Amino acid sequence: MSDQLQVLNPATEEVIATVPAATAADVDAAVARASKAQSAWAALAPGERARMLRRFAVAVDEHLEELARLEVREAGHTVGNARWEAGNVRDLLDYAAGGVERLTGRQIPVPGGLNITILEPLGVVGVIAPWNFPMPIAAWGTAPALAAGNAVILKPAETTPLTALRLAELALEAGLPEGVFQVLPGHGPVAGNALVEHPGVAKIVFTGSTAVGKQVWAKGSALLKRVTLELGGKSPNIVFADADLEAAAAAAPMSFLDNSGQDCCARTRILVQRSAYDRFLDLLAPAIEAVTVGDPADEKTDMGPLISKSQLERVRSYVDQGAEGIRGKAPEGPGFWFPPTVLTGVDAHARVAVEEVFGPVAVVLPFEDEAEAVALANATDYGLSGSIWTRDVGRALRVSQAVRAGNLSVNSHSSVRYWTPFGGFKQSGIGRELGPDALTAFTETKNVFISTESTEGPAQ
């Protein structure tokens, strides 16, 4: 295995950077630095730690366009999406900073004394970030972990290390102490595995495939290491006949084409009530065909390339060229391009209907009634997100309760906000990220009882 990571522009296939790949020895040295820095970081007055994180947020904001353009080049994200991602890092740092001084324990009534709980940082946290959203998902783990008083070692994906490295530079420029936030690009089986198996790392936050997530959990369990896993998805987009079909069809394309479908929340199973099926497809076809696929640096582009040749080949393997459906257009020539694709006439148990494709491909499946819609929605190993389109408030509530997924939207496709919790059911993950409880996921609860009973002896 090479000791260098080549970073390609997925829109052109050109090498844009070469980055040293961390070894297991590099991870060991980084953990030692992090352990030393963490105790001083945790000992800072809460207000001071919060101020440093806010300065970090300001630095990100001042370099937002630079970070966005870097994301366009290394990940192929559209420039609009990339700006949102850099802004999400900024906002999450600000949000986490606001929690530092609110990370409080409790006073619990007990007889004979006073009982309090104290939330203490875990120590060193390893964050293993994916290539599909390199900046924001890295911040999901990093920002609350730092706010809670931990040191963080971030291992970005092999294909997208550049924005993570730049964020580490900005953190130092903003005044974060050396060793508190380190970035170690490297291969998953080497640097990632070393982080997971290192006894000095108290927790791993991993976002990626379910298969690799299971390995992370199994290896971490040998040390009783805490883990948060955000894994795969095969999310439903349920459209009832009483819905606003025009709105549902207009919103459907970007619910699975955003980031070229490389999104664990992508609504790739479009479930449509049979009585509205034909009308919905008539509305959906022009919406798919209107999606502009091309240069991600162009402000007018809706969808860019896939991340790599291997990902392109994976997506192709799911789509029979003779299959019925709706297809958009994509560029030809250099770059990892695949057109927006909606398949119809697909068996509900086909690979493309049940497995995570992680590309711009969706299937449309008909259903008869509410019970069948719920059964189809739940007929998957995953349970991350989903959408429900209906004008019936009672139905919206019933179906929301019946669908086994961690994040649902009614008459929209919203899934992730940094101030609300995010995570999945079943094989979509373990634990929750973001939201008001994000910091507590990076703490230990210590219980302290203080006796108030007199210890004085008898009066003399």
Catalytic center residues: 155, 230, 264, 356
Nearby residues of 194 by Cβ (< 8 Å), 6 or more positions away: 23, 24, 27, 28
Structure-block tokens of residue 82: 């990339």
Phi/psi of residue 295, nearest 5 degrees: -55, 115
How far is it, in rounded angstroms, from Cα 395 to Cα 385? 18
In 77-155, at which residue ranges do the beta strands (DSSP E only) sit? 107-110, 113-121, 124-128, 151-155
Edge-to-edge strands, sheet with 407-410: 325-327, 341-343, 361-367, 269-273, 236-239, 385-389, 407-410
How far is it, in rounded angstroms, from Cα 356 to Cα 123? 35
Could you tell me if 163 and 70 are in contact, meaning their C-beta atoms sit under 8 angstroms apart?
A: yes
CB atoms < 10 A from the CB of 281, how many? 17
Print burial letters for 422-454: b (CB count within 10 Å at least 16), e (below 16): bbbebbbbbbbbbbeebbebbbeeeeeeeeeee
Phi/psi of residue 443, nearest 5 degrees: -135, 160
Q: Which of these, 193, 194, 197, 166, lies nearest to 63 by C-alpha position?
A: 166
DSSP per position, 176-234: PPTTTEEE----IIIIIHHHHH-TT--EEEEES-HHHHHHHHHHHHTTT-EEEEE----
How far is it, in rounded angstroms, from Cα 258 to Cα 262? 8
Structure-block tokens of residue 253: 């394309």
Q: Environment class of residue 46 by beta-carbon count within 10 Å: exposed (0-12), middle (13-18) or buried (19+)?
A: middle
Q: Which of these, 139, 199, 152, lies nearest to 179 by C-alpha position?
A: 152
User: Which residues are paired to 449 by β-bridges?
Assistant: 115
Query: Phi-psi region for residue 118, left (φ > 0), alpha (ψ -120 to 50) or beta?
Result: beta
On the CB side of 71, how many CA atoms lie within 13 Å of its CA?
29
Could you tell me if 117 and 145 are in contact, meaning their C-beta atoms sit under 8 angstroms apart?
A: no
The helix/strand/coil state of 355 is: coil
Structure-block tokens of residue 440: 């507590």
Q: Which of these, 202, 164, 162, lies nearest to 181 by C-alpha position?
A: 164
